[in-house]
Amino acid sequence: GKGIAVLTSGGDSQGMNAATRAVVRVGIYLGCKVYFIKEGYQGLVDGGDNIVEASWSSVSGIIHKGGTVIGSARCKDFTTRPGRISGAQNLVDRGITNLVVIGGDGSLTGANIFRQEWPGILDELLAQKKITEEQRGKYGHLNICGMVGSIDNDFCGTDMTIGTDSALHRIIDCVDAIVSTAYSHQRTFILEVMGRHCGYLAIVGGLTTEADFVFIPENPPLPDWPQRLYLALVGALASEADYVFIPEWPPEIGWPTKLCSKLTQEREAGQRLNIIIVAEGAIDRNGDPISAEKIKQVVVDNLHQDTRITVLGHVQRGGSPSAFDRVLGCRMGAEAVMALMEATVESPAYVVSLDGNQAIRLPLMACVEKTKAVAKAMEEKQWDLAVQLRGRS
Ligand code: F6P
């Protein structure tokens, strides 16, 4: 049978175990030898006990567990060619030419580089007599299939990444819990949720909990413009500008003003509390971070509301996966093995994506490139473009 290995890389997420389990069981069912690579790419580079054959029962009782039972790491060594050469040797030694990587876009890009370098690396290993002619001939091509495990839902090409749904469950549980204490004390709470570059958790978390205000990286509000106005005014005076915006005639208001008027409006309508959700990567239109602390300062200084901050942090990434993420992991894992079994030398590296209700395979690098284009657009402050590129995810 063919040799398949599975590894999880980068930040963990709920549902990775379901995906690992599906890879193992579908692989064994199809007559393959399936291997776990423990501790992500580090285990691939280090080899030894990190690469072990999986059995049907070795993945029993893991579907309900959060995180990844085979371990994950952010690995520096694999970003170097010597690290990848060592990884290739470890795979060839075991007859593995099919690799499933469950991780974020960085991990999947690494997998693609590995695949492209594979023939050259094998030539090098042969020249150094570390593999035989026979091995060079037999294992000359590496097939790759990726799955995106990330709570952030930040990958282009898939409707949902593995873990996002569970993180949302955790977020709404937390907000519901906060609401009861906020109500009692008539408080305002600022909840920081994860999402370095992606506001999906914040926006869906906000929608599903009736938050009053949400800050996300993709739609940065204007900063407090009257402050900028002062600079504009002085700048204009000093440079004979033709046009100046003045406070008495605001073109658009900044986020502090908008936030405060929304909170006031809700309180005047009889609400005893306010909930504000801020994605950890939220910024304003100048590119300056909008932190929970900054928001608190605005609320306290302007409205004098009793205000607290709760940072949900890694709670969002932990705990058991939702039904959705378990099924998603199962489907994607099965599709990944099928993609590998059907791969030819001509086929590209694939990533399994969710399209509506179907797990489908897409060319990995096209999705990675699109994801990188989103990051670039955000860096260049072209937020509308970023949202457009991100599309359905
Ligand atoms: O998985 C992505 C993510 O959840 C980000 O939103 C967050 O910034 C990051 O992981 C934190 O990960 P770690 O603590 O593992 O570096």
Q: In the chain, at which residue ranges do the beta strands (DSSP E only) sit?
A: 3-8, 33-37, 51-53, 96-103, 143-148, 188-193, 213-215, 274-279, 307-311, 350-355, 358-363
**Sheet strands side by side (includes 188-193):** 213-215, 274-279, 188-193, 307-311
pLDDT in tens, 239-273: 666 555 555 455 567 899 999 999 999 999 999 99
- Average pLDDT of 262-289? 95
Tokens 């992500």 sit at which residue?
Answer: 40
Question: How many angstroms separate the alpha carbon of residue 168 from the centre of ligand 1?
Answer: 15
Structure tokens, 364: 């990995």
Alpha-carbon dihedral angle through residues 28, 33, 38, 40, given to the nearest 10 degrees: -90
Could you give the percent of the chain with pLDDT greater than 70? 92
Pocket test for ligand 1, best of 9, 68, 72, 152 (most atoms within 8 A of CB): 152
Residues facing 96 on adjacent strands: 3
- Average pLDDT of 15-43? 98
Pocket test for ligand 1, best of 107, 194, 280 (most atoms within 8 A of CB): 194
11 touches ligand 1 (CB under 6 Å): yes
- Average pLDDT of 194-220? 95
Could you give the percent of the chain with pLDDT greater than 90? 87
Using CA atoms, how far residue 162 sits from 17, 67, 371, in Å, is: 10, 11, 16
Whole-number pLDDT of residue 256: 93
> What is the DSSP code (8-state) at residue 248?
T
Whole-number pLDDT of residue 252: 64
Which are the catalytic amino acids? Answer: 152
Whole-number pLDDT of residue 222: 85
- Average pLDDT of 307-327? 97
Whole-number pLDDT of residue 251: 55
Whole-number pLDDT of residue 393: 45
ipTM score of complex:
0.95
Burial class (CB in 10 A: 0-12, 13-18, 19+), 326: buried
**197 or 84, which is more confident?**
84
pLDDT at 67 over 70: yes
First to last CA, the chain: 36
Using CA atoms, how far residue 249 sits from 170, 246, 252, 263, 321, in Å, is: 44, 6, 9, 23, 51
Question: How many angstroms separate the alpha carbon of residue 154 from the centre of ligand 1?
Answer: 12
The answer to whether the beta carbons of residues 12 and 149 sit under 8 Å apart is yes
